[in-house]
Structure 1
Amino acid sequence: MVAIFASLWVAFAAYAPAGRYVVESVIPHGSRLVSNCASLTAATAVLAFMFQISDPDTARRRIRLRLIYLISAVSVMSGLFVAGDEDRFSPQLYALYLFVYVAYLGITVGEFLVQTWKQSFRSRRTSQRIGLRTASVGCASALVYCCYKIFTLVSLGFDLGLITHGYQCSSMVTPVRCTFSVAAPAIGVLLVVFGLTLPALAWPLSQLARKRWETRSFKALASLWSELVEVSPDIVLTPAGSGEVAEDDADFFLHRRVIEINDGILTLRAYRSGRVQHATTHALAQLGEADTLRGHATVEAAVLKDAVRAKHRGLKPNGDIARPAPGTDKREGNLRAETEWLLLVAKAYADSDVVRATTTETAQEKEVVSTP
């Protein structure tokens, strides 16, 4: 990565007025050579980066081979530059210079494009997939630049006069030729650099966001967890389960809290009232929320709230036992899916007016039935 950024900085700095002045004060007319050699170095460094990702076992050998190719290309270009300077860089020598430059750059960029595109399908991390595909788009933009250079090469080699030599770019798109000679490689470089650095930037940010989500979720489930522990204290794995949690340990503590809540739900199976389930579903149907995920969570919260109250009083339902919530078997069995479901249940358990109304009504009916 250091080689990539350093060589790209040299490549663009050599074209800037200040950089051109510094370079050409040492090497007359040498800003183009310095920029082109730095561009080839950057392309080689990018490909070496990809070798490390795709096949670390063979990366060292493949990188050494690419370095030999790079040194050879730079040596030939430097030799042609020296020979051309004495002859004021004739079109033929300049065409040969361009051929070496474009051939090496095009082959390297093309190989990198193929590798990034293939590797993006094997990557598990979303940021890495997006980054590699962004780099692939950047390579495509760089290949547009290579195609333009080949067009220039043909024009100069056969003296067709299709490209005017020695024009100056007032911007990245003016004249139009600068779109291909300046804008295309600049966009390609930006996309490649962004694509390669995105996973490194996204990973720590995603981990920080995950830890904060785990900490918030752990605290948000505390109320539901306390209700279940009160009627089923044996579900607590260790006394530390009720303590504060640091972000570094959030994953472990959240796992344990989710397991304990699910264990608590299992201990209430005999107290799950089918009547409460039907009443809550009917109430939600009138509100148009019966067949939504939030609606299913509200029904489950009502069933649990009634079951906790029934176990407190030792009253088992006289009717049908409530079935598990819809979609329970289809839900992914990972921490995030289980937590998100329990968060919906916990919120409805604490705040839903429908849950409060149906469970209160059912509790009153049970008291009437149980009164001698």
Structure 2
Amino acid sequence: MFALTAAALSLGHRALGRRTAGHLRHEAGRGRGVGAPGRAVSLLFFVLCAGLFMLARPRCSDELLTVHGWPERAALAASDLVYTVYLLWGLAVFIRLIAHHSGRIGAGAVRAGLRLIVMSAAVGVLWALWSVEDVAGVLLTGRQDIDEDSVSIMLSSACLVLGALGATTTAWWAPAAGPAQWLRTRRTHRALRPLWSALCEAAPEICLTRPGVLLGSPRTGMGPASRAQFALYRRVIEIRDGCLAMRPHVHPGVPAWVAEQTEDAAVRDAAVLAVALDRAAESAKGGHGSPSRDGRATQAEVSPGVGGSLDDEAAWLSRVSRAFASSPVVGECRARARAERTGSGGVPGERRRGGDPQEDGGRPVS
């Protein structure tokens, strides 16, 4: 079984070798192989292992190896131990080389395949270490079971499955990438819903399509992954349009309130939007809302965006949406702004911190 594992790992490495070579950019003649010293060590291990096994003179009966006398037990145990040490040495060299090369390759099928093969070799290390049980059994009883136990079967199966997946990554990576991307996009799409729903309720004009359509129409000719990506792109645009629609209602003191408790920029943006939404709703009802600022920006505006890709922007807005829905800091800011509008003299949390209820970000409460 150990030989089968080594063969499987070797085949996986060779299957990816041609693809890997194009990424590693090694100059000709600079590759480092095992070389003569490595071959000499391998030959020494095998000769030593075979010699010790012959000295033990085991007898095979009923799927058991049996030896008599302490010298024979010691010889058979030493043979098993030498073979285990050789396997551990070989797997350690293999893991070091493949892990080093996979770290120099960009994200994709090749790197994923190499890392799966490294994981397979790591499980092989655990499998080899488990064989120390045979050494103890030989020394204590003079017998060694030829069959694999349940632990060895599980470790060997995991080792071979990971090795096979790593060796065939270039074949299944592309078909699997579509569903995986679709699931990630759907998860992000759902994470944006709390913030998106609140903005659409406050400013219905930002909705590009009717709310019931989430992932596009099947008649567009796009696949599920493309439709999900398009729906996420549309939702990000609608959220950003909603942020612009809330600009006249932004409270300039909110960033300072958030800074009293956290430096998380996502919480800051969520609090700014939550207070702006409350002020917009109050203004629509004819209450103590905020007058229009003609779209003029202040330092309390929400972040204009992060990164240069849709994934970066969606990930950031997901953080803002989660903070908007669940952050206690956002709730305290909304309560503080509500108290300011109604003239109730602050909120309990402000008094606990020893703040002056007549102060609001350096401005007197209206």
TM-score by length of 1: 0.48
TM-score by length of 2: 0.48
Q: Which has the higher helix share?
A: 1
- Larger RCO (CA under 8 A, 6+ residues apart): 2
